Amino acid sequence: MRYLGAAQVARLVDVPPQARPYYRALADAVRARILDGRIPVRVRMPAERHLAETLDVSRTTVTAAYDLLRERGYLESRQGSGSWTALPDPASTPDNPWLSTGADGLTHLHSAAPPAPSALLEAMAEAVEDVPRYGMGNGYDPMGLPVLRERIAARYCARGLATRPEQIIVTTGSQHAIQIVMGLLLGPGDPLLVESPTYPHAIDAARVRGARIVPVGISHEGWQPDLVTCAMRQSAARVAYLMPDFQNPTGALMDDATRAALTGAARRHDTTLVVDETWAELALDEVPPTSPMAAFDTDSRVISIGSASKLWWGGLRIGWVRTTAALARRLALHRACVDIASPVLEQLVVARLFDRMEETTAERRRTLRASREALVSAVREHLPGWDFTVPRGGGTLWVRLDSGSAVSLAEAVARHGVRLAPGPWFGVEGTLEGYLRLPYTQPPQVLRDAVAQIAKAREHGARDGEHGMYARGGEHGLPGGYGPAGRTVPVEPVIPVV
C-alpha cells in the first residue's frame, strides 16, 4: 500500500465528533492505528484539506493533528510530496524502552514467556563439560546434534507417537521452525488457513512468503470441526497452521475426535497441517488424554513443531520439527540461507534438560498454576465485567472486555507501567478489538500489581473520556505516582515478542 485516501483514514480512526480537543484525539487515533498495524508505516496520508472535508472539521484542526504526529515521530513530511506515516527513531528517545526488554521499567504483560527453570544452571554446567567432545568438529550440524534429536524423538515415543531421530530437525526456536516450514511449503498467493485468534508471528512468517491468510474462528471452547473443514475446502488451503494443545492465545485444547476429524479433512482436501505444539507439555489441570495430532496422520501430511521455550526457557532459542526423514533433510537444506545450524552449547543444554523432564515439568506446572490463580482472582476482583474461561493449560488467558477497544486500553495502560497484548495482534484483519491476552507466565505478585494498574488506567479513562486519557499522560511524563517509582514512562512502539 502506498497511500491512504481521506475516507479510508476516517473509517480507520473513527474519532467521535464530540472528542475534545479534537486534533489530539485525531492524532492519538492515527498513532494507535499505526501501532496496531492497521495504518502501515511509510504510506502517504491524505492531504490535510481532504481529510478535513471528509471529517467535517476545520483544516487547522487536521493541521494541528498532523503537527502533533510529526512532533512525536509518527509522520514525516517531504516538501512537495505530502506526509508519510513513520515510527519514532528509537535512538532519539533517551530512555528507549524497546532496545532491551525489561530495561524499560515496564511490566511486560504482552509476552507469554516464563523465566528459566531452577535446573538451568546445572544443565548448563553439565553441557559445558560435554562441549570438548564436539569441539573437534566444525560446529555446524544443520539437522541438529544426534544427542538432542534422540531425546526429542524419545519424547514423542513417550507421548504415544513412534518417532525416529531421523525425523527430527533441531531449529533455532520454534519460530524459526515455523519460518522454514512455511518458507518451504508456501509461495505467493497460496492460501494458509489459520485459527482466529492465532499466534501472530506465524502470520508474519506466512506474509513474508506472500501467502494469503484465511482465518477460521475458534473460541475458548475450541474448534468446530465442520467450520474448519469448510474453510479448508472453500479456500483450497495449501497449508493449515493449528495449535491443538493449549492454543495461544485462547488456551483451548483439541479433543482426539476433532484431531481425527481435521486430519481426515486435511487428507481429503490435500492440505498440509503444520501443528505448533509449543505449549503441549503444559497441562495444568486434569485433562482428557490426547494424542499428538501426527498420531492421526496416515499419509505424512502433519508436520509437528516443538519448542524448549515454554517448558524451559526462551533464551535457549531451541525448537524442532518432526516430519518425514526426507522432509527433515529438505528443511536442513532450506535453513542454509537463514542460520545454517543451531548453536551447539544450547542444544547440549536442552539435551540435559530433557534428562530432567519430570522434575522441570513439575516445577513449571506448579509456578504456572500459582500465577494463573493470582491472575484469575485479580481480574475477577478488579475487572469483574471481563469475561474469560480459565484455560486448563498453557500460559495465557484470553479475555473479552466489557467495553471499549483493547488497543486504546493497551495504549493507556502502558502509561501506567504495563505493556499489554491487545486482541488485534492475534487477528488477521484488525479484528478482535474487544479482546486482550493476559499471560500468567510472571510471578503472582507481578500479575496482581499489573491488574491493579490496568484497573486504575481504566478508571482514569472512564473519568476523562477515552481520548482524554491519552492526552493527560502525554509523551513527556505521568502524573505523580504512575509508572514504576514515579518514573516517566515514554510509550514507544514495542517489538511485539508475544
Ligand X SMILES: Cc1ncc(COP(=O)(O)O)c(C=O)c1O
Residue 157 CB, nearest approach to ligand X (Å): 22
β partners of residue 109: 420
**Contact region with ligand X (CB under 6 A), list: 126-134, 154-162, 169-177, 322-330:** 169-177
Of 320, 353, 316, 349, nearest in space to 130 by CA: 349
Residue 361 CB, nearest approach to ligand X (Å): 17
Hey, is 410 helix, strand or coil?
helix
**Contact region with ligand X (CB under 6 A), list: 73-81, 125-133, 168-176, 355-363:** 168-176
Residue nearest to ligand X (CB): 173
Residue 198 CB, nearest approach to ligand X (Å): 9
Within 106-125, the residues that bind ligand X by CB under 6 A are 112
For residue 309, state whether it binds ligand X (rule: CB under 6 A): yes
Task: State the binding string over 171-200 for ligand X (x if CB under 6 A, else -).
Answer: --xxx-----------------------x-
CB contact at 8 A, 435 and 406: yes
Within 315-354, the residues that bind ligand X by CB under 6 A are 319
How far is it, in rounded angstroms, from Cα 57 to Cα 26?
Answer: 11
- Which cell numbers hold the place of 50? 481532504
Residue 307 CB, nearest approach to ligand X (Å): 3
The answer, yes or no, to whether the previous bond of 197 is cis (omega within 30 of 0) is yes
Of 51 and 498, which has the nearer Cβ to ligand X?
498
Residue 293 CB, nearest approach to ligand X (Å): 14
CB contact at 8 A, 308 and 318: yes
How far is it, in rounded angstroms, from Cα 379 to Cα 451?
Answer: 6
Of 29 and 216, which has the nearer Cβ to ligand X?
216
Of 276 and 281, which has the nearer Cβ to ligand X?
276
Of 333, 325, 330, nearest in space to 300 by CA: 325
Contacts of 295 (CB under 8 A, 6+ apart): 160, 161, 259
For residue 314, state whether it binds ligand X (rule: CB under 6 A): yes
The position carrying cell 509476552 is 111
Hey, is 452 helix, strand or coil?
helix
Contacts of 410 (CB under 8 A, 6+ apart): 110, 419, 420, 421, 422, 436
Within 228-247, the residues that bind ligand X by CB under 6 A are 243
HSE-CB for 445 with a 13 A CA cutoff = 0
Residue 377 CB, nearest approach to ligand X (Å): 24
**Contact region with ligand X (CB under 6 A), list: 132-140, 307-315, 325-333, 374-382:** 307-315
Residue 442 CB, nearest approach to ligand X (Å): 14
* Chain positions contacting ligand X, by CB under 6 A: 112, 173-175, 199, 243, 248, 276, 278, 307, 309, 314, 319, 498
